[in-house]
Amino acid sequence: MKRVSLLGSTGSIGTSTIDVLNAYPDRFELISLAAGRNTDLLLKQAQKLRPKRVYTAENIEYVTNQLKPLGIDVVHGDKGLEELAADTDVDLVINGLAAGVGLRPTLAAVQKGTDVAIANKETLVVAGHLITEWAQKTGSALLPLDSETTPLWQSLQDTDRNDVKRILLPASGGPFFDWTKEQMASITRHQALNHPTWQMGPKITIDSATLMNKGFEVIEAQWFLDLPVSKVDVIIHRQSIVHCLIEYVDLGLMAHLSTPDMRLPIHQALVHPEKLPTQIEPLDLTKVGTLSFFEPDTDRFPCLQLAYDTVTMGGTAPTALNAANEIAVYAFLEGRIGFLDIPTIIRQTLEDHKTTPATEIESIFVADHWAREHAQRLVQKHQQ
């Protein structure tokens, strides 16, 4: 029986994960749940699944009053989230938290030697080298939870990395795939939140529309897959049916295909190395008909190139990238800046950032804090 802590239980990863866990009640025991703002759903989940502990970011008193009679402890604050992740009665932490809040609980779990399944890309983008280093020391396993990275990670388990010429990460291209730059200047929040194939939280949906999400996947692929970024390419694939491709040195390509359903990569990671049946819709290629692929356009979608650039810059550059992106995306969601201001603010933050070696977590926190404040100032300048 694997004892699980699910962080971000009310988000899209969290609810899909609960479906997967529920399919195997004899394999997984849910120890704790953590959620941010969706108190109603958190309470429903806790009442049904009866974890030992629950973290809530909001409505602390109300949640405590509701759950205490059921014998469920309620924790809150930064420390509360880290406590859940570092609990000694947890074997696996599933990190489905949104954006920057995912880092500290992952660190707490890894330092304890607990395995962590990570959907929260930001964590490995800012501190991938430190987390993988610690995980090696403590014996904690890091499992990717993503439609591209999970099947790649699984397929490459016993592959000599010298046999791999490159991997290809498909990106749907988002809702503005064929828009001109002029059209893109007036993109609204509503248009940007309308992703063609995946239903996700607002932050990652905007990251998908700018292609920053794919940039983050490129950066985290090196840590999860132990491959240099020079071997990680991105291809636009509109149908989201092909989830990853591996090109071997002999130029043969292996692809992983399925209907787009996040429960599949979550299932694959959680039952690894076994293959077990799932309830997802089978893929009927005759109904799909056509699969199309395009080169990504980094002129209209500069965020992807900015992500690659930070790998070359090294040190705290990916931290600054992530921090500036988070500030710019939330500013866009609040209607304070335009869609095309997002990459402009990130680029300017990177240009102004004095990259330092990220050999300690403290230097990452310092760079993160600086980049957030700097990006905030740039947002004010761009504010409409």
Q: Which tokens is 352 given? A: 């102004």
Residue found under tokens 């396993």: 141
At its nearest, how many Å lie between Mg ion and the CB of residue 198? 8
Does residue 149 contact residue 218 with C-beta atoms inside 8 Å?
no
Cα–Cα distance measured from residue 346 to residue 327, given in angstroms and rounded to the nearest whole number = 9
Q: Give which of 142, 148, 112 is closest to 127, Cα–Cα.
A: 142
At its nearest, how many Å lie between Mg ion and the CB of residue 47? 32
At its nearest, how many Å lie between Mg ion and the CB of residue 316? 24
Closer to Mg ion by CB, 170 or 338: give it: 170
Closer to Mg ion by CB, 172 or 316: give it: 172
Closer to Mg ion by CB, 46 or 169: give it: 169
Q: Figure out which of the listed residues 82, 87, 146, 341 binds Mg ion, where binding follows CB under 5 A.
A: 146
Cα–Cα distance measured from residue 123 to residue 366, given in angstroms and rounded to the nearest whole number = 15
Closer to Mg ion by CB, 32 or 172: give it: 172
Cα–Cα distance measured from residue 304 to residue 215, given in angstroms and rounded to the nearest whole number = 5
Q: By Cβ distance, which residue is nearest to Mg ion?
A: 146
Q: In the β-sheet with 164-171, what is the strand arrangement from edge to edge?
A: 253-257, 242-248, 164-171, 232-237, 293-294
Q: Which tokens is 196 given? A: 């063609």
Cα–Cα distance measured from residue 228 to residue 225, given in angstroms and rounded to the nearest whole number = 9
Question: What 3-state DSSP class applies to 34?
Answer: strand
For 75, phi then psi, to 5°, come to -120, 160
Does residue 32 contact residue 90 with C-beta atoms inside 8 Å?
yes
Cα–Cα distance measured from residue 335 to residue 366, given in angstroms and rounded to the nearest whole number = 28
At its nearest, how many Å lie between Mg ion and the CB of residue 49? 26
At its nearest, how many Å lie between Mg ion and the CB of residue 215? 11
Closer to Mg ion by CB, 82 or 146: give it: 146
Closer to Mg ion by CB, 87 or 146: give it: 146
At its nearest, how many Å lie between Mg ion and the CB of residue 167? 13
Closer to Mg ion by CB, 147 or 205: give it: 147
**Could you give the dihedral angle defined by the CA atoms of residues 237, 241, 247 and 253, in that order, rounded to the nearest 10 degrees?**
-120
Tell me the window of 55-63, 140-148, 331-339, 363-371 that interacts with Mg ion (CB under 5 A).
Answer: 140-148
Tell me the window of 105-113, 126-134, 145-153, 253-261 that interacts with Mg ion (CB under 5 A).
Answer: 145-153
Closer to Mg ion by CB, 32 or 149: give it: 149
Tell me the window of 20-28, 84-92, 144-152, 290-298 that interacts with Mg ion (CB under 5 A).
Answer: 144-152
Closer to Mg ion by CB, 7 or 204: give it: 204
Examine residue 207 and tell whether it contacts Mg ion (CB under 5 A).
Answer: no
- Window 87-126: contact mask with Mg ion (x via CB under 5 A): ----------------------------------------
At its nearest, how many Å lie between Mg ion and the CB of residue 149? 7
Tell me the window of 113-121, 139-147, 307-315, 360-368 that interacts with Mg ion (CB under 5 A).
Answer: 139-147
Strand partners, 143: 117
Tell me the window of 146-154, 180-188, 252-260, 302-310 that interacts with Mg ion (CB under 5 A).
Answer: 146-154
* DSSP output for 143-208: EE-STTHHHHHHHTTT--GGGEEEEEEEE---TTTT--HHHHTT--HHHHT--SS----HHHHHHH
At its nearest, how many Å lie between Mg ion and the CB of residue 22? 23
Closer to Mg ion by CB, 67 or 212: give it: 212
Give the number of residues in contact with Mg ion, rule: CB under 5 A: 3
Q: Give which of 284, 232, 247, 240 is closest to 262, Cα–Cα.
A: 240
Residues that bind Mg ion (CB under 5 A): 146-148
